[in-house]
Amino acid sequence: MDLGDCYRLLGLRSGASFSDIKASYRRLAQQYHPDINPGDKKAKDKFIALTEAYRFLLTVVPPEETAQSVKQSYTSTSSRQQTQATKPETAPKATTATTEKPPTQPPNMAEIEQRLKWKTYEQLQRFLKERRFPQAIALAEALAARLPKDAEVRQWQAIAYQIWGRALINENQLLKARVYLKKALKTDPHNKALWEEVQRDFQKLEQIF
């Protein structure tokens, strides 16, 4: 089951938010729960598949609380500053210079994206180390969808494809291995080192065939 399958199973479009995923799962889980459908094997299988898809999506879709709290904090700060700027002055301006400390600014969205990026990278490395390749691929694809212009993220995604492709060669799943090796080249086509490594992987494939 890949990332797209998980979204479709929950009746969602690819890229749906964390809250939408939770809401859809709750609704469908109540509909197909074995307690509601005793003796119905199809409903039980559907419930199990829904639960697996939901758990998988939770590992790759970041929660929204952090971004929302920062946005609220920024909005609150901006409102206070605007109110202070429009409030009439009740005292004469000081003639001597004063040194006022500038207000502390909340972290901007770029900083939040960078923290998310590197946190996701750490999780991606754990998945690859533990040979949890489908989860690693889904995580890399989700991050690339969120940061489509980030060259580092594209490189991580391509490397994840290549590593899984090599693992598939060792498992003798040669056609599937070829697919993911091609994906690696397509994702990061200007990476010469990656290109050379993937060419060697293709040579190994040809020898096996």
Residues of the chain with CATH 1.10.287.110: 3-60
Helix, strand, coil fractions of the chain, as percent rounded to 5: 70, 0, 30
Per-residue pLDDT 10s for the chain (209 aa) are 567 788 888 888 877 788 888 888 889 988 888 888 888 888 888 888 888 888 887 777 766 543 444 445 444 544 554 555 445 555 445 444 444 555 555 556 677 778 888 888 888 888 888 888 888 888 888 888 888 888 889 999 999 999 999 999 888 898 999 999 999 999 999 888 888 998 988 888 888 86
**CATH 1.25.40 domain span(s) along the chain:** 113-209
Q: Does the pTM of the predicted model rise above 0.85?
A: no
177-187 in b/e form (b: 16+ CB < 10 A) is bbebbebbbeb
Q: Residue with structure tokens 């991580």?
A: 156
pLDDT for 182 equals 92
Question: Each residue of 95-114: b (16+ CB within 10 Å) or e?
Answer: eeeeeeeeeeebeeeeebee
Q: What is the pLDDT of residue 107?
A: 53
Q: Which CATH architecture has domain 3-60?
A: Orthogonal Bundle (1.10)
CATH architecture label of 113-209: Alpha Horseshoe (1.25)
> What 3-state class would DSSP assign to 174?
helix
Nearest in space to 165 (alpha carbons), one of 196, 204, 193: 204
